[in-house]
Chain A
Amino acid sequence: MARALIHVPPSAKRGEVIEIKTLISHVMETGYRIGVTGQPIPRDIIEDFVCTYNGEEVFRAKLYPAIAANPFISFFTIATERGTIAFSWTDQHGATQVQTAAITVE
């Protein structure tokens, strides 16, 4: 499992705009580079990032080879209700990593 760091404010007021930050360790190998033996290094990237808030999708991003290693994605959403914010990263081989964070809304 890759390392992921997620920052979600643990609590917020209802209707408040909150910033969410995510960082995941991944090589994001472009497929355009040549290795020391002269062979091309195969492409290996994360292709999809999805964030859901209590099951409802609030943010989605498609990633391409031009994205640097260890992608950092930051975005905003509105705190509507207490619950779980889930993040999933899917690589080009179809492997998905999911991580969640809890949020309290008053």
Chain B
Amino acid sequence: MRRAAAVIATLVAAATVALAAEIPLDQRRPDSDFISADSRAMQNDDTANPAMLVLLDGETLWNTKAGAANRSCADCHGDAEKSMKGVAARYPAYASELGRPVDLAQQINLSRTMDQKAPAFAFESKELLALTVYIARQSRGMPVAIKEDAKAKSFIAAGRALFEQRQGQLNLSCAQCHDDNWGKTLAGNLIPQAMPTGYPIYRLEWQAVGSLQRRLRNCMSGMRAETYAFGAPELVDLEYYLMWRARGLPMEAPAVRP
């Protein structure tokens, strides 16, 4: 009898593990729900959010002529407040030039190399982050609009597979924290649902602005897994899946995180 009970308990436990799946659409919450009220206030106050300093650099770069074409972003795209509205909410997106998706920072570099004929900015460089922040800011409050169309499908699926795959010496998957245990604490911090609506973020721990790829590499080294290089297709697929996962949630870039 006791053995039967133990078997049943094991089965129930196994079933619970198997049941934990993607968060239902109506239960999704922005990551800013999982930070302190102070950090949230800092994020939503343009006079206190330190990313606004970076945004000013981005605005300057937007209007600076560059490359052999001697053109600025503004020369083609005009006023970013109009032309870039909603753009960040649609990235990552499929780039036909490359035959695979790119994130917003990579799209900026594509534009730089192909249209401005200027050298690409390095990943996580001050300039690339500044332009990304400036463009992402124009979508604040707009819903994430990633569509799972025919071109996107396989890449989003690849990102999702990576999200659910156990990795590293701790043998953890992203999903084990962000799908199964969101809302609980990890080292004193609440575990968010991994809805990347606020990137690039100003992270207080970094004392600087950083990209989603930097954050993902952070998580991976936390799992003691080998990190992918900046710009690696695996990271972009993962970004694509995460933004699709956050579809419909309001953009809050540049966000402040602890």
Contacts and interface: CB of A to CB of B under 8 A. Distances in A.
B207 A69 contact: yes
Contacts of A68: 204, 207
B47 A23 contact: yes
For the side of the interface on B, what is the size category?
A: 10 to 19
Nearest to A70: B50
A23 B57 contact: no
Contacts, number: 33
Contact of B47 (A3, A21, A69): A21
Interface string A18-53: 000101110110000000000000000000000000
B52 interface: yes
Contact of A5 (B53, B57, B204, B207): B53
Contacts of B47: 5, 7, 21, 23
B229 interface: no
A53 to B, nearest CB: 19
Given A3-B53, A5-B53, A21 B48 contact: yes
B20 interface: no
A76 interface: no
B122 interface: no
A25 B58 CA distance: 14
A44 to B, nearest CB: 13
B25 interface: no
Contacts of A3: 53, 56-57
Contact of B53 (A7, A21, A25, A28): A25
Nearest to B45: A21
A72 interface: yes
Nearest to A21: B47
B198 to A, nearest CB: 17
Interface string B115-144: 000000000000000000000000000000
Given A5-B47, A72-B50, 7 more contacts: A3-B53, A7-B47, A23-B50, A69-B50, A69-B207, A70-B53, A72-B48
13 contacts: A3-B56, A4-B53, A5-B56, A21-B47, A23-B48, A25-B53, A25-B54, A27-B207, A28-B207, A68-B204, A69-B50, A70-B53, A74-B48
